[in-house]
Chain A
Amino acid sequence: MFRFSVAVFGRGVAKRFSSSFPAEGALPPNLQLPANLVDPSRLKRPPPPADCPLPLLRRCEAVVPAHLSPMQTWVESLQMEDGEPLGRAELHPDVFGVSPRIDILHDVEKWQRNYKRISYAHTKVRSEVRGGGKKPWRQKGSGRARHGSIRSPLWRGGGVSHGPRGPTSYYYMLPMKVRVQGLKVALSFKMAQDYLHVVDSLHIPTPDSQYLLDLIRRRHWGESVLIVDVAEEFPENILQAASDLKKVNLIPAIGLNVHSMLKHEAVVLTLETLKFLEDKLLWHDQRYTPLYPFKLPYRDFP
């Protein structure tokens, strides 16, 4: 009996004991991966080495400070699904390599959520509720509590004393330089986390959305992609391909903002967008304080 029980339980004990030393790469059968797990096969691409044979397709036009050097990334093409990078591009360190300020990102994101918020909650005060001008019963002698109107906040159906009042706005503006720094920090984060991709142009061979999805999956860009271009009109192929996809979105460069960059995993910029962004964002580092709003004409701007 004892030997039988040992044999039976021994098998279970042996199985449980052996599971503490799994074979190399063996996953437990009841493993449940979370839905938002980062693609484990997505390895960080190494930045282009100094002796890379590919041509430098874009140099930094703006002046780079002497103590910093421009950062380099790969320039890819969307023409072929599994194409190799075409070349390298230089990025200004004061736009794509600033210090990681999460507090600025938080402030800018909070501002984006709240400055356009209008709360339409409204309750009526006792003077606005219909009725309630007459004293319901005489002051003394009726035995009931004394009241002056049937719409006081104590009564059912009466007004609300301290409720929300009318459309309220939560508008405020952050200083311009904080918003600019927010953009720079967001771009730096994407660059540092290997989620920023540079592309020479947005021409794709077919208007098929499946082609875009396969390209993104092949290159391990991420779940959601934000494609930014300076031109007001996008090539028709990519417009049609992205119109059916929820997680791949095109925006003009003027529409770039911190919330969209945080919402989408990968950000794809073209070479013209790089020039545009560096122009716009670096100007604020060395401008004078405005004596009158910038929308009025200045002699040397834009």
Chain B
Amino acid sequence: MSALRGLLRAGGSLCQSAGTLLHTARTISTGTFCQIRMHSIPQPKEVDRWTEKRTMYGVYDNIGILGDFKAHPRDLIAAPCWLKGFRGNELQRLIRKKKMVGDRMMTLEKHNLEKRIRFLYKRFNRVGKHR
């Protein structure tokens, strides 16, 4: 519809008679509209670089070296208990989760976990180049 207005404006500038059409033109809507609506240039989001969390990030990471090895940095990690100080692929993580937390899980979750372990075991050990 803005294209129509532009055409009429261009036509009106060329010949006087079409100028009367400009004043009587109605905007025609076909039912679609511009999905993305935003202001011209978005403002950059203001990030405070000195919040408490950002200032104190990383403190006590060397608690082992500087603190007589009474604690280890992996004791600082806030994570589900089967992931504290552990890294593995999906199958290893699921097996560890089943070992550590399995008897506390809900039935549906446990069932899904066992299905996934069975699938991944077959996938890793029977399919593909690396078995």
| B68 to A: closest C-beta gap in Å | 5
Contact among A259, A277, A281, A302 for B58, CB-based, below 8 A? A259
Number of A-B pairs whose CB atoms are under 8 Å?
103
Return chain B residues, CB-CB under 8 Å to A168: 93
0/1 interface trace, chain B 37-78, chain A, CB 8 Å (1 if under): 000000000000010001111111111111111101110111
Interface centre among B61, B68, B83, B87 (most CB of A within 10 A): B61
Contact residue among A118, A180, A256, A284 (Cβ-Cβ distance under 8 Å from B79)? A118
Which stretch (A43-51, A58-66, A144-152, A243-251) binds chain B?
A243-251
Check if B70 sits within 8 Å of A255, measured CB to CB. no
Pair B65/A180 contact, Cβ less than 8 Å:
yes
Known contacts A176-B65, A259-B61: does B90 contact A167 (CB below 8 Å)? Answer: no
B80 on interface, CB distance cutoff 8 Å: yes
B residues less than 8 Å from A167 (CB atoms): 79-80, 83, 93
CA distance A128 to B56 in the complex (A): 40
Task: Please tell me if the beta carbons of B58 and A112 are within 8 angstroms of each other in the complex.
Answer: yes
B5 at the interface (CB under 8 A from A): no
A: number of interface residues (CB 8 Å): 43
Q: Tell me how far the C-beta of B35 lies from the nearest C-beta in chain A, rounded to whole angstroms.
A: 19
Interface string of A265-283 (1 = CB under 8 A from B): 0000000000011001100
What separation, in Å, do the CA atoms of A107 and B33 have in the docked complex? 51
**Chain B residues within 8 Å of A118, by CB:** 77-80, 83
Give residues 73-131 of B contacting A (CB, 8 Å): 73-74, 76-80, 83, 85-87, 90, 93-94, 112, 115-116, 119
Contact A256 B87, beta carbon cutoff 8 Å: no
* In the complex, chain A residues whose CB is within 8 Å of the CB of B115: 127
The contact of A295 among B72, B83, B93, B112, by CB within 8 Å, is: B72
- For the complex, is A218 an interface residue (Cβ under 8 Å from B)? no
Q: Identify A179's interface contact among B50, B65, B85, B94, CB under 8 A.
A: B65
Whether, in the assembled complex, A115 has its beta carbon less than 8 Å from a beta carbon of chain B, the answer is yes
Tell me whether A258 is interfacial, beta carbon within 8 Å.
yes
Establish whether residues B87 and A294, one from each chain, have CB atoms under 8 Å apart when the complex forms.
no
Give Cα A74–Cα B74 distance, bound, in whole angstroms: 38
**19 A-B interface contacts by CB (under 8 A):** A116-B77, A118-B77, A118-B78, A127-B116, A169-B86, A173-B74, A179-B62, A179-B65, A183-B62, A183-B65, A249-B56, A251-B59, A254-B62, A254-B63, A255-B59, A255-B62, A256-B62, A257-B60, A295-B70
